Amino acid sequence: MNRRHTVTVALCWGLVCLALAFVEWASLSMIGFPDGHLTVFDRETVGPRRVLLVLCVAQALLIPALAVAGSFRRASALTLAILAAALLVVAPMVALPGCPGSPACRAAYQELTGRVLDHGIGG
């Protein structure tokens, strides 16, 4: 992959991640009930979700900037950077809001915290 392709891939990655960060920001802005009440799950996850949002924006700007500067001499370096960002930042950011809907995630939450996941849905 030549330098132009590397920059193009990095820019596309950055744009996709910025769009994803915008969706997450919108989701975070609507957390809670109309009266302002936050569920236990929301209170416990809003901080990590904000950190992941900031990290997503940071890597979405940093990876393309490094590509434009020529820091990725090989395509494998860019691939490794994108893979690391995807696994450490993007995947948790996407998975965390949907956790209450996943039986595996609910079970993991209950195993880790020792209590039932309270996300405001129920009787």
Q: What is the pLDDT of residues 61-120, one digit of tens each?
A: 999 999 999 888 888 999 999 999 999 999 999 998 888 888 888 888 888 888 887 666
Model pLDDT, residue 105: 85
Which pTM was predicted? 0.86
Read off the tokens for 54: 């900031």
Q: What are φ and ψ of residue 32, in 5° steps?
A: 105, 170
Question: What pLDDT, on the 0 to 100 scale, is given for residue 99?
Answer: 84
**pLDDT in the model for residue 123:** 40
Would you give the distance in Å from CA 119 to the centre of its chain? Answer: 20
- Pairwise pLDDT comparison (17 vs 4), residue with the higher score: 17
Predicted pLDDT at 25: 96
